[in-house]
Amino acid sequence: MDRIHIVGGKPLHGIIPISGAKNAALPLMIASLLTGETLELSNVPRLADVASLLRILGNHGVDHMVVGKRPGQTTEAGQTIRLTASNVIDTTAPYDLVSTMRASFWVIAPLLARFGEARVSLPGGCAIGTRPVDLLLMALETLGATIEIDGGYAVARTKNGLRGGEIKFPKVTVGGTHVALMAAVLAHGTTVIENAAREPEVVDLAACLTRMGARIEGAGTPRIEIEGVSRLSGARHAVLPDRIETGTYAMAVAMTGGDVTLENTRADLLHSALDILATTGTEVTPLDHGIRVRRNGHGIAAVDITTDPFPGFPTDLQAQFMALMTRAKGQSRIRETIFENRFMHVQELARLGAKIRLEGDVAVVEGVERLKGAPVMATDLRASVSLVIAGLAAEGETQINRVYHLDRGFEALEAKLVRCGAEIRRERV
């Protein structure tokens, strides 16, 4: 098992290229099941979750080809993957595959829409909360699917194809919106999704589906309207930049000090987080092809945040922002409204000297003058990278164990940070 070793206290200077968004790449890859023609996706990050999903799609019979690197291209540049689902051999997604990644449950939508049936294992528990699939199944039932739970599997069927309907989500759900979109594009008639997720990754999926021949209006708003078509074609689509990776490195610069340009990303993907970061005393400047983040020797101002669906502050940046607030001047309050158990990083940050107390869904952070390196344990993907951020600013050495979580969501993390002057390396133990 790997661990990461960090010697902290070094400001970051240089350029960090931002990878394609994992949270966009996964539903885009799943959308390949909607057509027998080839879907070519570029700017796909090299991540463990991408590799896992390729295995899951392969189990259904989807052929894939990873296009080789161009001359002079580094491994940090996104890869291009061609997916062809012309010969789907199985509409069952077994537990041993689905259990490795919750997003793989979404294959239920394109399988049902295109083939009229799907048998997909329920994904089970999750370290950061229950994250139920009831709203996803409700969306499919609204479009005419019959669903039963049998032996831990959701078995969905439709005799004469899905039919358009009005899907009203009682709360915003990104997964539910992805599933509803992929089901509705091949349904008979018109589907309206009310209280739809507005996340950029939803807009990216809608853009790709439109290139494939879908008729979608309103993506990025709370109301999406889809006019079903009889078939979809292949397409070429570039995965949008990863806004969570962008925000993570921006907070790392705010934490350590320095001056870094984040390349191949867009400020409009995370306005709320960048606006809040600017109030901490960090200089954030949008550029034509990226964002410049600077912090001089002045201290970090304490700021309160509440996580909310897009365009609010992302829950996937909550842990990273908490790490930043551990060094702020004064007290900050961080309210988590999306996942009920997403404060597991608190005890590990405390091992580095952070002062944090929990009051229900609020973490109260008292800024300290310094953090000190220590051995810590990663509990989930975002918690892992919050410990990296804290370790970069801590005095002495920090060892982060169970870093396989990081490989699920951050491409070439150590290499990108080393290029900017960080002393960080991976060790095998």
Least confident piece of the model among 86-100, 128-142, 336-350: 128-142
Question: Token digits for 326?
Answer: 């551990």
> pLDDT tens, 393-421?
999 999 999 888 888 889 999 999 999 99
Q: Is 382 annotated as a binding residue?
A: no
Give the pLDDT band of residue 311 (cuts 50, 70, 90): very high
Q: Is 316 annotated as a binding residue?
A: yes
Q: Is 338 annotated as a binding residue?
A: yes
Asked if pLDDT for residue 176 goes beyond 90, the answer is yes
Q: What is the pLDDT of residue 351?
A: 97
Q: Is 59 annotated as a binding residue?
A: no
Asked if pLDDT for residue 428 goes beyond 50, the answer is yes
Q: What is the pLDDT of residue 342?
A: 72
For residues 215-233, average pLDDT: 98
Whole-prediction pTM value? 0.94
Cβ-proximal residues to 96 (8 Å cutoff; 6+ apart), any chain: none
Q: What is the largest CA-CA distance in the chain?
A: 66
Q: What is the pLDDT of residue 226?
A: 98
Cβ-proximal residues to 58 (8 Å cutoff; 6+ apart), any chain: 64
> pLDDT tens, 177-202?
999 999 999 999 999 999 999 999 99
**Cis amide leading into 200 (omega within 30):** no
Q: Is 22 annotated as a binding residue?
A: yes
Give the pLDDT band of residue 75 (cuts 50, 70, 90): low
Q: What percent of the chain has pLDDT over 90?
A: 85
DSSP bridge partners of 400: 4, 376
Q: Is 274 annotated as a binding residue?
A: no
420 is catalytic: no
> pLDDT tens, 118-156?
999 998 644 434 447 899 999 999 999 999 999 989 999
Q: Is 62 annotated as a binding residue?
A: no
Task: Name the one residue in this structure whose structure tokens are 């039919």.
Answer: 163
Average per-residue pLDDT for the chain: 93
Q: Is 107 annotated as a binding residue?
A: no
For residues 245-249, average pLDDT: 97
For residues 328-351, average pLDDT: 90
> pLDDT tens, 104-126?
999 999 999 999 999 999 986 44
Q: What is the pLDDT of residue 404?
A: 86
Domains of the chain: residue spans and CATH: 2-19+241-428 (3.65.10.10), 22-238 (3.65.10.10)
Catalytic residue among 66, 126, 287, 358: 126
**What does the alpha-carbon distance between residue 133 and residue 176 come to, in Å, rounded to a whole number?**
8
Alpha helices in 185-220 (DSSP H): 200-211
Q: What is the pLDDT of residue 90?
A: 95
